[in-house]
Chains A and B, each alone.
Chain A
Amino acid sequence: QVQLQESGPGLVKPTETLSLTCTVSGYSISSGYYWGWIRQPPGKGLEWIGTIYHSGSTDYNPSLKSRVTISLDTSKNQFSLILNSVTAADTAVYYCAREDWGFSDWGQGTLVTVSS
């Protein structure tokens, strides 16, 4: 069974960079499938951030595209999210997930708060 686990700082200052890593176990990310990041502001719905394919190509939410980078590290079986120039509006639980005709496996999520 595929398992995912997010890691990274829980507090980021405004204007700085949010950086999260998703460690995947039970499957080699270089073998296939798509891998995504989704976030959920407190008390609100889900927002897709972007997806990276096992080839390394990416798709991003147009509303975040100018600030987002998703990358793969196949040697560590991880994929990462970088979000630049954060504001309080970026405060959310960030999830990583495996995409297979839908987001089929999810990490537990990590709360990232943007505050000075």
Chain B
Amino acid sequence: QAGLTQPPSVSKGLRQTATLTCTGNSNIVGNQGAAWLQQHQGHPPKLLSNRNNNRPSGISERFSASRAGNTASLTITGLQPEDEADYYCSAWDSSLRVWVFGGGTKLTVL
């Protein structure tokens, strides 16, 4: 089963820009795109961007997703203290018919 690779941690300063990455193979990220979730400690995940890189209603424009080849990225501009959380990418492997999650990136806002 193919996996998604995310850096375990990223640290950035207040009001800076953070770019989180998620790398998979062509069967998943390359063809199907990746969705991004934010999870604060003790809370369920929240969808920030779906596999079409669309933000659900209510999600700040500071969060934007993109894809280049087999790597998906989530860019967060103007970092705020409340952005400190775990971020997970997820993708659908259409050949195996399974959802795959990345291991998550812990974002620290300094």
Contacts and interface: CB of A to CB of B under 8 A. Distances in A.
Interface of A: 36, 38, 45-48, 51, 59, 61-63, 95, 100-109
B43 to A, nearest CB: 8
Contact of B103 (A45, A51, A62): A45
B40 interface: no
B98 A62 contact: yes
Given A61-B98, A104-B47, 8 more contacts: A36-B99, A38-B101, A46-B101, A62-B1, A95-B44, A102-B36, A102-B90, A104-B50
Contacts, number: 58
Interface in B67-91: 88, 90
Given A45-B88, A46-B88, A103 B35 contact: yes
B23 interface: no
Contact of A102 (B51, B96, B97, B102): B51
Interface in B18-71: 35-37, 44-47, 49-52, 54, 56
B46 to A, nearest CB: 7
A47 B98 CA distance: 11
A109 B100 CA distance: 19
Contacts of B36: 102
Contacts of A109: 44
B90 A46 contact: yes
